[in-house]
Structure 1
Amino acid sequence: MLTAGLNQVYVGVVDDDESLRRALARLLRAAGMQPVAYASAEEFCADMKRPRFACLVVDIQLPGMSGVDLRNQLAADGIATPVFFVTAHDGPRVRAEAMAGPCAGYFHKTDAGSEILAAIRRVLASPAPGQ
Protein backbone atom coordinates (compact mmCIF):
# COMPACT_ATOMS: atom_id res chain seq x y z
CA MET A 1 0.00 0.00 0.00
CA LEU A 2 2.89 2.39 0.67
CA THR A 3 3.82 3.57 -2.80
CA ALA A 4 4.85 7.13 -1.92
CA GLY A 5 6.71 8.70 0.98
CA LEU A 6 4.87 8.97 4.27
CA ASN A 7 4.55 12.73 3.82
CA GLN A 8 2.00 11.98 1.11
CA VAL A 9 0.03 9.59 3.32
CA TYR A 10 -3.19 11.09 4.64
CA VAL A 11 -4.66 9.71 7.86
CA GLY A 12 -8.13 10.78 8.99
CA VAL A 13 -8.66 11.23 12.72
CA VAL A 14 -12.30 11.31 13.90
CA ASP A 15 -12.69 11.96 17.63
CA ASP A 16 -14.86 14.34 19.66
CA ASP A 17 -12.14 14.61 22.34
CA GLU A 18 -10.16 17.64 21.18
CA SER A 19 -7.07 16.83 23.25
CA LEU A 20 -6.83 13.28 21.87
CA ARG A 21 -7.55 14.50 18.33
CA ARG A 22 -4.70 17.02 18.61
CA ALA A 23 -2.34 14.49 20.21
CA LEU A 24 -2.96 11.92 17.46
CA ALA A 25 -2.49 14.58 14.79
CA ARG A 26 0.84 15.63 16.35
CA LEU A 27 1.98 12.00 16.57
CA LEU A 28 1.11 11.33 12.94
CA ARG A 29 2.71 14.58 11.76
CA ALA A 30 5.89 13.76 13.71
CA ALA A 31 5.94 10.39 11.92
CA GLY A 32 5.83 12.21 8.58
CA MET A 33 2.16 11.58 7.78
CA GLN A 34 -0.53 14.13 6.96
CA PRO A 35 -3.33 13.98 9.55
CA VAL A 36 -6.73 15.52 8.85
CA ALA A 37 -8.82 15.83 12.03
CA TYR A 38 -12.60 15.85 12.44
CA ALA A 39 -14.67 16.34 15.61
CA SER A 40 -17.51 14.08 14.45
CA ALA A 41 -18.48 11.49 11.87
CA GLU A 42 -20.90 14.00 10.40
CA GLU A 43 -18.07 16.54 9.95
CA PHE A 44 -16.02 13.85 8.21
CA CYS A 45 -18.90 12.92 5.89
CA ALA A 46 -19.63 16.58 5.06
CA ASP A 47 -16.03 17.31 4.02
CA MET A 48 -16.34 17.26 0.26
CA LYS A 49 -12.66 18.18 -0.14
CA ARG A 50 -11.25 15.42 2.04
CA PRO A 51 -8.24 13.64 0.58
CA ARG A 52 -8.09 9.94 -0.16
CA PHE A 53 -7.11 8.53 3.20
CA ALA A 54 -4.65 5.67 3.63
CA CYS A 55 -6.46 4.84 6.89
CA LEU A 56 -8.74 6.30 9.54
CA VAL A 57 -8.42 6.44 13.33
CA VAL A 58 -11.97 6.67 14.66
CA ASP A 59 -13.45 6.96 18.14
CA ILE A 60 -16.17 4.34 18.61
CA GLN A 61 -18.45 6.45 20.79
CA LEU A 62 -19.07 9.74 19.04
CA PRO A 63 -22.07 12.03 19.50
CA GLY A 64 -24.53 11.52 16.66
CA MET A 65 -23.22 8.92 14.21
CA SER A 66 -20.97 6.45 16.03
CA GLY A 67 -17.57 5.36 14.77
CA VAL A 68 -18.95 1.92 13.98
CA ASP A 69 -21.81 3.50 12.02
CA LEU A 70 -19.26 5.59 10.09
CA ARG A 71 -17.23 2.48 9.26
CA ASN A 72 -20.41 0.68 8.16
CA GLN A 73 -21.46 3.64 5.99
CA LEU A 74 -18.06 3.76 4.31
CA ALA A 75 -18.21 0.02 3.64
CA ALA A 76 -21.75 0.35 2.23
CA ASP A 77 -20.42 3.09 -0.07
CA GLY A 78 -17.69 0.73 -1.30
CA ILE A 79 -14.88 2.59 0.50
CA ALA A 80 -12.39 0.05 1.83
CA THR A 81 -10.17 2.43 3.84
CA PRO A 82 -8.68 0.59 6.84
CA VAL A 83 -10.26 1.76 10.11
CA PHE A 84 -8.54 1.72 13.50
CA PHE A 85 -10.91 2.16 16.42
CA VAL A 86 -10.06 3.93 19.66
CA THR A 87 -12.30 4.00 22.71
CA ALA A 88 -12.37 5.11 26.31
CA HIS A 89 -15.19 2.66 27.07
CA ASP A 90 -13.78 -0.78 26.40
CA GLY A 91 -15.94 -3.78 27.04
CA PRO A 92 -16.98 -7.05 25.40
CA ARG A 93 -20.04 -5.54 23.70
CA VAL A 94 -18.14 -2.51 22.37
CA ARG A 95 -15.27 -4.68 21.14
CA ALA A 96 -17.65 -7.17 19.48
CA GLU A 97 -19.47 -4.36 17.70
CA ALA A 98 -16.19 -2.94 16.39
CA MET A 99 -14.92 -6.33 15.29
CA ALA A 100 -18.20 -7.27 13.56
CA GLY A 101 -17.01 -5.54 10.39
CA PRO A 102 -13.73 -4.49 8.82
CA CYS A 103 -11.40 -3.36 11.60
CA ALA A 104 -7.66 -2.81 11.14
CA GLY A 105 -7.06 -2.35 14.85
CA TYR A 106 -8.73 -1.70 18.20
CA PHE A 107 -7.15 0.43 20.91
CA HIS A 108 -8.08 1.84 24.27
CA LYS A 109 -7.45 5.60 24.43
CA THR A 110 -4.86 5.01 27.15
CA ASP A 111 -2.75 2.77 24.88
CA ALA A 112 0.59 4.26 23.95
CA GLY A 113 0.64 6.31 20.77
CA SER A 114 3.59 4.21 19.64
CA GLU A 115 1.32 1.13 19.54
CA ILE A 116 -1.21 2.89 17.34
CA LEU A 117 1.53 4.28 15.11
CA ALA A 118 3.14 0.85 14.74
CA ALA A 119 -0.22 -0.66 13.74
CA ILE A 120 -0.79 2.08 11.16
CA ARG A 121 2.68 1.51 9.72
CA ARG A 122 2.01 -2.24 9.45
CA VAL A 123 -1.20 -1.63 7.50
CA LEU A 124 0.46 0.94 5.25
CA ALA A 125 3.33 -1.43 4.51
CA SER A 126 1.03 -4.31 3.53
CA PRO A 127 -0.17 -4.70 -0.06
CA ALA A 128 -3.61 -3.31 -0.82
CA PRO A 129 -6.30 -5.97 -1.37
CA GLY A 130 -6.11 -7.36 -4.87
CA GLN A 131 -2.44 -6.50 -5.41
Structure 2
Amino acid sequence: MSSTTPLYVAIVDDDESLCRSLARLLRASGMQPITYACAEAFLADAKRPRFDCLVLDVQLDGMSGVELALQLVSEGRHAPFIFITAHDDPETRAGAQTVGCAAYFRKNDAGADIVDTIRRLAGQP
Protein backbone atom coordinates (compact mmCIF):
# COMPACT_ATOMS: atom_id res chain seq x y z
CA MET A 1 0.00 0.00 0.00
CA SER A 2 1.37 3.38 -0.96
CA SER A 3 1.87 5.94 1.79
CA THR A 4 -0.31 8.34 -0.27
CA THR A 5 -3.29 5.99 -0.07
CA PRO A 6 -5.32 6.89 3.00
CA LEU A 7 -5.99 4.20 5.54
CA TYR A 8 -9.69 3.52 6.04
CA VAL A 9 -10.47 3.11 9.71
CA ALA A 10 -13.86 2.23 11.20
CA ILE A 11 -14.60 3.60 14.65
CA VAL A 12 -17.50 1.77 16.31
CA ASP A 13 -18.31 3.48 19.59
CA ASP A 14 -21.47 4.78 21.25
CA ASP A 15 -19.53 7.66 22.85
CA GLU A 16 -20.22 10.47 20.37
CA SER A 17 -17.53 12.71 21.84
CA LEU A 18 -14.87 10.02 21.53
CA CYS A 19 -15.92 9.25 17.95
CA ARG A 20 -15.68 12.90 17.01
CA SER A 21 -12.29 13.49 18.64
CA LEU A 22 -10.72 10.23 17.43
CA ALA A 23 -12.03 10.82 13.89
CA ARG A 24 -10.55 14.32 13.94
CA LEU A 25 -7.20 12.96 15.12
CA LEU A 26 -7.17 10.25 12.44
CA ARG A 27 -8.06 12.76 9.68
CA ALA A 28 -5.25 15.04 10.87
CA SER A 29 -2.95 12.01 10.60
CA GLY A 30 -3.94 11.44 6.96
CA MET A 31 -6.39 8.61 7.58
CA GLN A 32 -10.00 8.25 6.46
CA PRO A 33 -12.14 7.45 9.53
CA ILE A 34 -15.79 6.42 9.31
CA THR A 35 -17.73 6.38 12.56
CA TYR A 36 -20.61 4.15 13.65
CA ALA A 37 -22.62 4.56 16.86
CA CYS A 38 -23.22 0.82 17.21
CA ALA A 39 -22.21 -2.56 15.80
CA GLU A 40 -25.57 -2.93 14.09
CA ALA A 41 -25.04 0.33 12.15
CA PHE A 42 -21.63 -0.91 11.04
CA LEU A 43 -23.09 -4.22 9.83
CA ALA A 44 -26.01 -2.46 8.09
CA ASP A 45 -23.74 -0.15 6.07
CA ALA A 46 -23.90 -1.79 2.65
CA LYS A 47 -21.54 0.85 1.22
CA ARG A 48 -18.80 0.57 3.82
CA PRO A 49 -15.34 0.42 2.29
CA ARG A 50 -12.78 -2.28 2.89
CA PHE A 51 -11.31 -1.11 6.18
CA ASP A 52 -7.61 -1.29 6.96
CA CYS A 53 -8.33 -1.32 10.70
CA LEU A 54 -11.31 -1.30 13.06
CA VAL A 55 -11.44 0.49 16.41
CA LEU A 56 -14.17 -1.18 18.46
CA ASP A 57 -15.60 -0.16 21.81
CA VAL A 58 -15.77 -3.25 24.00
CA GLN A 59 -19.10 -2.34 25.61
CA LEU A 60 -21.76 -1.12 23.23
CA ASP A 61 -25.53 -1.05 23.51
CA GLY A 62 -26.87 -4.06 21.64
CA MET A 63 -24.12 -6.16 20.10
CA SER A 64 -20.82 -5.64 21.94
CA GLY A 65 -17.52 -4.90 20.24
CA VAL A 66 -16.34 -8.38 21.17
CA GLU A 67 -19.43 -9.94 19.57
CA LEU A 68 -18.91 -7.82 16.44
CA ALA A 69 -15.28 -8.93 16.21
CA LEU A 70 -16.31 -12.58 16.59
CA GLN A 71 -18.88 -12.20 13.81
CA LEU A 72 -16.38 -10.54 11.47
CA VAL A 73 -13.78 -13.22 12.14
CA SER A 74 -16.36 -15.97 11.52
CA GLU A 75 -17.23 -14.30 8.19
CA GLY A 76 -13.56 -14.40 7.18
CA ARG A 77 -12.94 -10.65 7.39
CA HIS A 78 -9.35 -10.12 8.29
CA ALA A 79 -8.92 -6.40 8.97
CA PRO A 80 -7.09 -6.04 12.27
CA PHE A 81 -9.13 -4.69 15.12
CA ILE A 82 -8.28 -2.64 18.16
CA PHE A 83 -10.44 -2.63 21.25
CA ILE A 84 -10.97 0.52 23.26
CA THR A 85 -12.79 0.67 26.57
CA ALA A 86 -13.69 2.85 29.50
CA HIS A 87 -14.24 -0.27 31.62
CA ASP A 88 -10.84 -1.91 31.83
CA ASP A 89 -10.68 -4.96 34.04
CA PRO A 90 -8.90 -8.32 33.77
CA GLU A 91 -11.99 -10.15 32.47
CA THR A 92 -12.64 -7.58 29.74
CA ARG A 93 -9.00 -7.59 28.69
CA ALA A 94 -8.91 -11.42 28.61
CA GLY A 95 -12.09 -11.55 26.53
CA ALA A 96 -10.66 -9.08 24.03
CA GLN A 97 -7.44 -11.04 23.71
CA THR A 98 -9.36 -14.29 23.25
CA VAL A 99 -10.99 -13.00 20.05
CA GLY A 100 -7.62 -11.92 18.66
CA CYS A 101 -7.49 -8.17 19.00
CA ALA A 102 -4.34 -6.57 17.65
CA ALA A 103 -4.25 -3.98 20.45
CA TYR A 104 -6.21 -2.91 23.51
CA PHE A 105 -6.52 0.65 24.80
CA ARG A 106 -8.36 2.47 27.55
CA LYS A 107 -10.32 5.51 26.38
CA ASN A 108 -7.99 7.82 28.28
CA ASP A 109 -4.83 6.44 26.62
CA ALA A 110 -2.89 8.75 24.32
CA GLY A 111 -4.40 9.19 20.87
CA ALA A 112 -0.91 9.20 19.37
CA ASP A 113 -0.45 5.62 20.58
CA ILE A 114 -3.64 4.59 18.77
CA VAL A 115 -2.51 6.34 15.57
CA ASP A 116 0.91 4.67 15.75
CA THR A 117 -0.71 1.27 16.31
CA ILE A 118 -3.07 1.69 13.33
CA ARG A 119 -0.14 2.65 11.10
CA ARG A 120 1.91 -0.31 12.33
CA LEU A 121 -0.98 -2.73 11.75
CA ALA A 122 -1.48 -1.39 8.22
CA GLY A 123 2.24 -1.65 7.46
CA GLN A 124 2.79 2.10 7.18
CA PRO A 125 5.65 3.99 8.82
With the length of structure 1 as denominator, give the TM-score of the two structures. 0.91
Instruction: Give the letter for the 1:74 counterpart.
Output: L
Instruction: Give the letter for the 2:59 counterpart.
Output: Q
User: For the residues of structure 2 that align with 1:75 and 1:12, how far apart are their CA atoms?
Assistant: 15
The answer for the alignment partner of 2:24 in structure 1 is 26
Deviating beyond 2 angstroms after TM superposition, the runs of 4 or more aligned structure 1 residues are 4-8
The answer for the alignment partner of 1:49 in structure 2 is 47
* CA displacement at 1:4 relative to structure 2: 2.5
1:79 aligns with 2:77: yes
The answer for the alignment partner of 1:106 in structure 2 is 104
User: For the residues of structure 2 that align with 1:32 and 1:6, how far apart are their CA atoms?
Assistant: 9
List per-residue Cα deviations over 1:16-72 (Å, max 9, x = no partner). Answer: 000000011001100001000000000000000000000000100000000000000
Q: 1:14·1:37 contact (CA, 8 Å) conserved in 2?
A: yes
User: For the residues of structure 2 that align with 1:7 and 1:62, how far apart are their CA atoms?
Assistant: 31
Q: 1:10·1:54 contact (CA, 8 Å) conserved in 2?
A: yes
* CA displacement at 1:8 relative to structure 2: 2.6
Q: Which of 53, 65, 68 lines up with 2:66 in the alignment?
A: 68
* 1:40–1:55 CA distance, 2 compared to 1 (3 A): same
Q: Which of 101, 115, 118 lines up with 2:116 in the alignment?
A: 118
Instruction: Give the letter for the 1:107 counterpart.
Output: F
Q: 1:6·1:33 contact (CA, 8 Å) conserved in 2?
A: no
User: For the residues of structure 2 that align with 1:103 and 1:45, how far apart are their CA atoms?
Assistant: 19
Instruction: Give the letter for the 1:8 counterpart.
Output: P
* CA displacement at 1:102 relative to structure 2: 1.6
Aligned length: 124
User: For the residues of structure 1 that align with 2:107 and 2:15, how far apart are their CA atoms?
Assistant: 10
What SS class does the counterpart of residue 36 from structure 1 fall into? strand
Q: Percent identity?
A: 56
The answer for the alignment partner of 1:35 in structure 2 is 33
Q: 1:55·1:81 contact (CA, 8 Å) conserved in 2?
A: yes
User: For the residues of structure 2 that align with 1:97 and 1:63, how far apart are their CA atoms?
Assistant: 17
